[in-house]
Structure 1
């Protein structure tokens, strides 16, 4: 089954799909190893990981697609790519969507922020006008004529224009053919419920620990009506915290073993054992000599 079809099958089930977000091939691989059904390549986390810079539109299209390619190559479950604003006009959006499809992504997110975009839970966000926003999603949907991929349509209009405008935009995105709707940064449980009650199809919640959207339990999110709960920074925040503690231990010459993954498990998760098992089938030539 193709990755887009795997994602379609997941979305047909009546349940909440918890989606830890990755930032590179190793983090995506670990998400898959722990039994999660899908992941999202967080633009925030990927920008921090790849170029050591904030998610403020600094990574280029080519860098983002390359990061997505590495993630898809290392895994065998649906990956949603972060296509930001599409990197230009409607024709750029078409190229962006096709690019993500061809590296193996099951879906790509296209949003209505002004370029360069900002993280959805940081100040200063602005969105483009309705017509430009709708053209982006129409172009993204049109790109599926040649490349099979789902479209995750995001609006950040809540911050600048209120929840009503955000819902209106998302409803139009669905009418244009978007597969998954994402209204970013509702501020209350009531707003989250309104999003799910008034919009058709699968909806995604974006849970940033310490962000503007309430950090609800999985059961609460499912009951409200979300199909996907994305956790864009959980793994990066955990990794950075762990690395900081390990660096402090090295600097201060204190015990660091309790905070480290066992070396045997580390090698196994990276894939050494699988490599050795597979490569053993090709060692006949060595024995012949």
Structure 2
């Protein structure tokens, strides 16, 4: 019988520093809780300070002696990302784990304060810039990792390179799928570039399959009702949905460049395993093109 990775397989994380974006709820909260339970110092990087503080208090109640702190971060604001990175660099000389988790799903159309289409900005570009700004701390830290969260939606559509921000007609579903494919492509391309530069930091991507979260709040009402009634038949718990992220962050048998997802039912649920990314994500030219466009939109060049 195949033995799957579980949190019990992870060693102590005492002395390690982890940043988890969107850690106040859902998958991010479960990831932060698990890392704190293993002894890591966890920074809850969140947009809403009140909800983040409530999450920190829940972690403290569940994990006696937990090292968890709240820092303001809105991945939909490039200024907020830069401010977070500047404050982090001032207070910390190392970073062991960066979990790019924060996200939104199938939202009505909006643009960020930087004029970027919302789902692309929040899900991908904010994390693209954040990772680049925190890269010096990651590179100074032996055994450091970056984990980028994607979704089964990454296989729905490709990257709309000729209209990346849906200026010729917004489609919420396609925009979400594109943003999560971008997260997957970024995770893989970052690892390729780190290896090419001879760096020890590794990058992986992970997705939770079908798991319970607050992201469904923008789905049509009939679909939300159906999920509330039958969701237990097709969706796994939020804690189980966080296991692919935790495996990517802590699995000692991983070497970088892997994608992690659930093992069963077309990667919708089950214990975490290494999965095969879709063709778009494995295309070197597409990843390089997206990287160049992301650098331009963020007005940032990676120090690799």
TM-based fold match above 0.5 = no
TM-score normalised according to structure 1 size: 0.36
Normalized against structure 2, the TM-score is what? 0.34
Query: Which has the greater radius of gyration?
Result: 1
More helix by share: 1
